[in-house]
Amino acid sequence: MTDQSVTNTHGVPMPKHIISGLKYLAAVELRKNNFTQKEIAEKLEMDRSTVSHYLNGRNISWHSIEIAEIIRNFCPRDFSTLTYALLQDKKKTRTIVKICSNKMFKCMVKNTCIGCGVCADACITEAIVLDDLEAQINSDWCCGCMICMEICPTKSIEIKEVEDDGDYRNY
Amino acid sequence: MMETTETIDQDKNISVQRTGEETRKLAFKNVLCTSCGLCEKICPVTAIEVEPAGATLEEQEASKIDIKEDKCVLCGMCACICPYNALEMEIDGKSVKDIEEYPKLLKSAEISEDVCVYCKACETACPRDAIVIARDLPERSKLVTGEIEIDKETCIDCGICEELCPADAITMEHKEPTADSPTVSSDIEVDKDKCVYCLICKKACPVDAITAACRQCSYGEYDLKAEDSEITGSTFIDEDLCVDCGWCEEICPVDAAKVEKAFEGTITVDQEKCQGCETCVMICPCNALSFPKSEESGGKPEKLHAEEKYCIFCGACEKACPNEAITVERTGIKSTPIKSKSWKTAFESVKGTSK
């Protein structure tokens, strides 16, 4: 199948269009947390002028921002899997999701874990590594999609949403 | 996203692979499998089914084990417990045997060449043909007690010694006598590599033309040198074939072979239930089971004899026995240290009996 992307009225393919909306939301969020434009550009892998335009509401359609807003309010699984489907990159997915969402998760691995690595393969934010035949989950990076929990063959993973204490923001 | 794929080749070998953050590959070699069932027992996701061993004795269409690709998560436990190296797992091309955190069964077989006398008993006894003993023997001529010499002046070319020599060490150059050379032989030679100093020739010689020079008596001209009788050689154990059964250690007359077994245990036979079908004898890769030959021909076969010295307690016989006459109980398992709780539990779980 050839790539026949759906385009918007300006001829921009829809997926990219939505990514721009998400990046806009992330840029605004970072700005609120006193990141400089330079830092925002580095974090989101954008050039500084685009960041500047976005923060001033230029070069971005309001419609794409509206769509991005809707996506951001999806449940964690839908938000992160859709973002990953758009970006096709686990690290970028983690950056966008963790900045745009204010949800925090606590991840626990029980000692019934056999270290098969299925969860690490499935994790869309690369938050899981294996150490001494046991999965280690970085709670800061967890997007709460719960895919690992469901896929784990020994039901060894527990993910709980926790209160955002405000000062973690370890993007 | 990750995907698990399974392929089976014409030799009934199975390959299961998952590609994701890392590439995991589980390889099953059908020919090495004894259907002992340890993989099935340890698998945490019940992805493995071992076909009944009795059926595998005949040529079979299918592999000895079945790995369900929709269940297998490639954790590697089966590969780590298999005592026959029939299952191997690789992560990104590296065998889990070379990755420290994966436990390895502590089993080995070694032959000390400092002690070995190259008698080849272990090579003969090894049920897996895993041992090769190569030896260099000393020259036979250096080991015989003495040498003979024929005094050609005294010799009358009768050929009696040549005819009698049991080692064909004496050769006479027979010829027709001529006027200028009126003899029946042009020469007589002793092949010192063949002569064993039996002295039959000397005793038979009608003219006493043969002299004997003994190396051992003080009147002889020669002495036996210790280095002349030295036997050198080399030993080799094929680790792919060796199952650490202990035969070489048990049979070695000089204690040169040392075997470490991964499992400790017991094997018991219920003689009432045993019907003498010999399925167990055929399936055991360690020759640990046998039916002693009946004293009188046509007599009733003796009862099954199970020898723990040669048993590695894999349980293949127990699984194969159609009459449930054999009980294998594992009481101990030796492996490299295991940090993971679940792996520890899994390894411990193979202890006991399957009944």
Query: A90 - beta bridge partners?
Result: none
Burial profile B140-167: b = 16 or more Cβ within 10 angstroms, e = fewer: ebeebbbbbebeeeebebbebbbeebee
For residue B140, what pLDDT is reported? 83
Mean per-residue pLDDT, B120-146: 92
**CA B5 to centroid of chain Cα atoms:** 37
For residue A57, what pLDDT is reported? 81
Mean per-residue pLDDT, B48-74: 82
Q: How confident is the model at residue B3 (pLDDT cuts 50, 70, 90)?
A: confident
Are B294 and B302 in contact, with CB atoms under 8 Å apart? yes
Residue in chain B nearest A84 by alpha carbon: B1
ipTM confidence: 0.80
Asked if residue A10 has pLDDT above 70, the reply is: no
pLDDT in tens, A45-54: 999 999 999 8
Residues of B with CB under 8 A from a CB of A: 1-2, 18, 20-22, 24, 44-45, 71, 73-77, 101-102, 339-343, 346
Q: CA gyration radius for chain A? A: 17
Mean per-residue pLDDT, B31-54: 91
pLDDT in tens, A62-118: 888 999 999 999 999 999 999 999 999 999 999 999 999 989 999 999 999 999 999
A112 CB within 8 Å of a chain B CB:
yes
Give the start-to-end residue ranges of the domains of chain B: 3-98, 140-228
A120 CB within 8 Å of a chain B CB:
yes
Residue A64 CA to residue A87 CA, distance in Å, equals: 15
* φ/ψ bin of B14: left (φ > 0), alpha (ψ from -120 to 50), beta (otherwise): beta
CATH code that applies to domain B3-98: 3.30.70.20
Which of A111, A121, A154 has the CB atom closest to B21's CB atom? A121
Which of B77, B101, B341 has the CB atom closest to A111's CB atom? B341
For residue A2, what pLDDT is reported? 42
Contacts of A117 in chain B (CB under 8 A): 20-22, 24, 73-75
What is the number of helices (H) and of strands (E) in chain B? 11, 19
Asked if residue A1 has pLDDT above 50, the reply is: no
Residue in chain B nearest A89 by alpha carbon: B1
Q: How confident is the model at residue B247 (pLDDT cuts 50, 70, 90)?
A: very high
CATH fold label, B140-228: Alpha-Beta Plaits (3.30.70)
A155 CB within 8 Å of a chain B CB:
no
Long-range interactions of B202-206: CB distance < 8 A, separation 24+: B202/B148, B204/B160, B204/B161, B204/B164, B205/B160, B205/B161, B206/B156, B206/B158, B206/B160
Ordered domains of chain A (ranges, CATH): 14-100 (no CATH), 104-162 (3.30.70.20)
Asked if residue B55 has pLDDT above 60, the reply is: no
Mean per-residue pLDDT, B237-259: 95
Q: How confident is the model at residue B292 (pLDDT cuts 50, 70, 90)?
A: confident
For residue B104, what pLDDT is reported? 96
Q: Which residue has the higher pLDDT, B77 or A63?
A: B77
Which of B45, B102, B340 has the CB atom closest to A153's CB atom? B45
pLDDT in tens, B146-160: 889 999 999 999 999
Establish whether domains B3-98 and B140-228 are of one fold. yes
Q: Residue A133 and residue B77: Cβ atoms within 8 Å?
A: no
Contacts of B341 in chain A (CB under 8 A): 111-112
Nearest to B68 by CA among B14, B1, B13: B14
Residues 92-111 of A with CB under 8 A from B: 111
Q: Which residue has the higher pLDDT, B142 or A44?
A: A44
DSSP state of A8: -
Q: Residue B21 and residue A112: Cβ atoms within 8 Å?
A: no
For tokens 């792919």, name the residue.
B240
pLDDT in tens, A13-42: 677 889 999 999 999 999 999 999 999 999
For residue B21, what pLDDT is reported? 87
For residue B17, what pLDDT is reported? 96
Burial profile B30-67: b = 16 or more Cβ within 10 angstroms, e = fewer: bebbbbbbbbbbbbbbebbebeebbebeeeeeebbbeb
Contacts of B71 in chain A (CB under 8 A): 153
Mean per-residue pLDDT of chain B: 90
Q: Provide the number of CB pairs (under 8 Å) joining chain A to chain B.
A: 65
Residue in chain A nearest B3 by alpha carbon: A121
pLDDT in tens, B174-232: 999 899 888 899 899 999 989 999 999 999 999 999 998 887 775 555 555 677 778 89
Q: How confident is the model at residue A59 (pLDDT cuts 50, 70, 90)?
A: confident
